[in-house]
Amino acid sequence: MVKTISYQHTNSYEVLNPVTETTENIWICFHGLGYLARFFKRYFTGLDPLKNAVIVLQAPSKYYLGKNFKHVGSSWLTRVDTDQEMQNNLNYVDAVLKEEGLHRDKRMVIMGYSQGVSIATRFLLHYNSPVKALVMHSGSIPNEFNELDSVKFKSLSTRNIHISGTKDEYVTADLIQRENKKIQMLFGTECELHRPDIKHEVDTQLLVDISNTL
């Protein structure tokens, strides 16, 4: 017999640039599988700190990377108890936004990298309030989204940006075809496509370029 129980959980997050009176964009960032927030935030140091506040969220499930048990990474979700874990993630992000006083702030830029794309997109639908942009970098859009979600996405984000490296070692022809169908269904022509000549890595210069046009 499987039972569930609710209890209070504590998690951290990183603030690279705090929100100030000059802030124009507030980046809410979801890292990829195997990262920690404190290391992922380095990819945003090129953004103008006067205009860009950066908050990097921390996936809750930590584990040792490799066989020497030296380095630690983390994960947002697995295929086990996915719905339950996703709700836990949503509760966590809601708590961070409340703590930072950002609820309903239209300057927010929701950014997900790799595994973080699935969390960022699900969070935006859950958040259900307009944001400045949705940036999807080198990750898969969840399969559960449908045409009704398309209407929601178009009303929630002023700009939808999809980034995928042409040398990404995790990208196959079948994956490209599936992702293109999802992009077309959810965003139609209202999605900016960037295809930099990179592997599965964060394109820091492209993030800077995007930040300068928000």
Please, which pLDDT band fits residue 2 given cuts at 50, 70 and 90? confident
- pLDDT tens digits, 92-134: 999 999 999 999 999 999 999 999 999 999 999 999 999 999 9
* Percentage of residues in the chain having pLDDT higher than 70: 100
Q: For 13-33, write each residue's pLDDT tens digit.
A: 999 999 999 999 999 999 999
**Number of residues in the chain:** 214
Say if pTM beats, i.e. exceeds, 0.85. Answer: yes
Cα distances from 190 to residues 126, 155, 186, in angstroms, run 21, 11, 9
Residue 68 has pLDDT above 90, yes or no: no
Interval 187-208: pLDDT, tens: 999 999 999 999 999 999 999 9
pLDDT at 67 over 90: no
Structural contact between residues 75 and 114, judged by C-beta atoms closer than 8 angstroms: no
The model's pLDDT over 155-186, given as tens digits with 9 standing for 90+, comes to 999 999 999 999 999 999 999 999 999 999 99
- pLDDT value of position 53: 98
Determine the Cα–Cα distance for residues 70 and 65; give it in Å rounded to an integer. 7
CA dist 153 and 128 (Å) reads 9
The residue type at 178: R
Please name each of the domains of the chain with its CATH number. Answer: 13-211 (3.40.50.1820)
b/e map 92-125, b = 16+ CB within 10 Å: bbeebbeebebeebebbbbbbbbbbbbbbbbbbe
